[in-house]
Chain A
């Protein structure tokens, strides 16, 4: 058996069916070894048009399915192209396994053709990276890679296999029964005292808020969050990526808080007397100022898998370490035995008041242009409940943050930690490969879309019928808005000219393309695209002057939120 065959067999033993990638000299032996598997349908290779997109696709696959996505690249430019995708998965804790081909062992370090120091460039962007030394290591390290990627805080793992190892022969193959790596997934600690304290704090709270992060999605704990929230009558806010943990139509869910989050959600979090974070690190995007939060003197509580998150900016008064589902169930048991309910009548009234107050700002009137909130509302009306939506990065992403209503867990994916433009289309393709029965939309910006839009070719060739809805504002809108609002309107280096025509661009790939003029168009084109079931691009013109609101001044506090267009004379401050 050849090393490359052993590699493919080991991947199959991990249940791998889909590989997103691009071949080159150094991973070609592996391609040769899955030739038959592709032919007989046991595996599928999706030939991406750029390795960054291969990593994003694997990431989208992982987020949609909950199991690691796999990508592959050749040494040198293939590996360096992967890097942006890997760091994106790393920041958002998504399990990706990257198999890279390396130069021959004897050539290493000699500036040989396409040598790029795979380990050196991978270490800082991955949870782990390993370069195999010997053919016998293949099965063990493939097993280890999937284990490391998918346990604890999930993340990307790179396995670099030198070409000559793939070409070698081995007779007696031993497949490992268990992992062997110096690594421990984080523990779940059932600390009765902490649980009781948490329960009492929640019951005694006058103004409790639950803050949900992606940890809830990865632990499949949405149901437990809802049980807890219902039991206490407690409002729920989320981080931006934490949107993927909460159905938007759950009545006590206020929405995402943070830098571009909903003002009512951030305000509720600020005003709360007990803030209970579950599966959410207290990131600088969610709590834009730790001083501001600490000054409220509220009780912070946290359930989190990664103990180091208890030491960054906020030190929770009650810290519970472990899996959100397990610990929430324990907490619910304690609450049940305590046998009383919280009293949050006044708080509920206040939260409703906040919601009412801020809703006047979030639905601005018609101004002759298509307005993002209405675009997103129209999309919502046109697609099934379990539709998956991914985004690029920019204003459109922030509009999706505040206005898109994802109605099921694991159905909203965005590059939130890294903010990687170009994530939208390939991650949607990965999600569609993982969940072929769901409608998958990429809600994108023109700038972001153009970064990985060439992968439309893959969507067409491989029949991956995703629908990209591109907000065409002919600008890098989010950067422009910061210049407009906070840099004295010195608009520089952001506006595009007329190139390209996005409809013609999409058509050139063989995708169906639509040009929207009004909301009715948008609705009908989405329905048509779903029915036709082919890759489609829907261009939606958006005014480049439109702002993504709420926002904060750069480096601002949540209480400095700006909710209405200051250029039109601020009506009402951000505060209620």
Chain B
């Protein structure tokens, strides 16, 4: 049995609950999400790519996909058979950090963690 599958999900976006429900669907089946990439356009169409992993070898991946496909707001789920993922890349050089409800001054963390 193939333990890792990459899927594309198209859903209707009302609020972030869409992503919550997609993740919860897999959580219930004990299917892990290794990574996820979500993009929503101005017409509330969301495309989610997820890499699903059957960590515990329970054989639930297919049923979890079918079950997701019958959820309100989900238009379709596509299993991608021939995927080839390069790093989803995000470039930046300015950010602010928060920890436990507080802003952490740049001087306190910059240069320590940031490469």
Give chain A's interface residues, CB within 8 Å of chain B.
119-120, 123-124, 127-131, 133, 148, 181-183, 186, 306-308, 311-312
Contacts and interface: CB of A to CB of B under 8 A. Distances in A.
A148 B63 contact: no
A312 B72 contact: no
Given A120-B20, A123-B17, 16 more contacts: A119-B15, A123-B21, A128-B72, A128-B73, A131-B15, A133-B14, A181-B72, A182-B12, A182-B72, A182-B73, A182-B75, A306-B70, A307-B70, A308-B63, A311-B63, A312-B63
Interface of A is mostly: mixed
A119 B62 contact: no
18 contacts: A120-B17, A123-B17, A123-B20, A123-B21, A124-B28, A127-B72, A129-B17, A130-B14, A131-B15, A133-B14, A148-B72, A182-B11, A182-B73, A182-B74, A183-B72, A186-B70, A311-B62, A312-B63
A308 B20 contact: no
A123 B28 CA distance: 12
A183 B20 contact: no
A131 B14 CA distance: 9
B67 A308 contact: yes
**Residue of B15, B67, B72 with most partner-chain A CB within 10 A:** B72
Contacts of A181: 72-73
A129 to B, nearest CB: 8
Contact of B66 (A123, A133, A186, A311): A311
Interface in B3-55: 11-12, 14-15, 17, 20-21, 24, 28
Interface size class on chain B is 10 to 19
Contacts of A130: 14
A128 B74 CA distance: 12
Interface of B: 11-12, 14-15, 17, 20-21, 24, 28, 62-63, 66-67, 70, 72-75
Contacts of B28: 124
A40 B62 CA distance: 54
Contacts of B14: 130, 133
B11 A123 contact: no
B23 to A, nearest CB: 11
Contacts of A128: 72-73
A183 B24 contact: no
A331 B24 CA distance: 39
Closest 4 CB pairs of A and B: A182-B12, A128-B72, A183-B72, A308-B66
A183 B67 CA distance: 13
Contacts of A182: 11-12, 72-75
Nearest to A126: B72
Contacts of A120: 17, 20
B49 to A, nearest CB: 19
Nearest to B20: A123
B72 A123 contact: no
Contacts of A129: 17
A38 to B, nearest CB: 32
Contacts of A183: 72-73
A308 B67 CA distance: 7
A129 B20 CA distance: 12
Nearest to B14: A130
A449 B67 CA distance: 35
A119 B75 CA distance: 21
Contacts of B72: 127-128, 148, 181-183
A351 B8 CA distance: 51
Nearest to A184: B70
Nearest to A148: B72
Contacts of A133: 14
Nearest to A137: B14
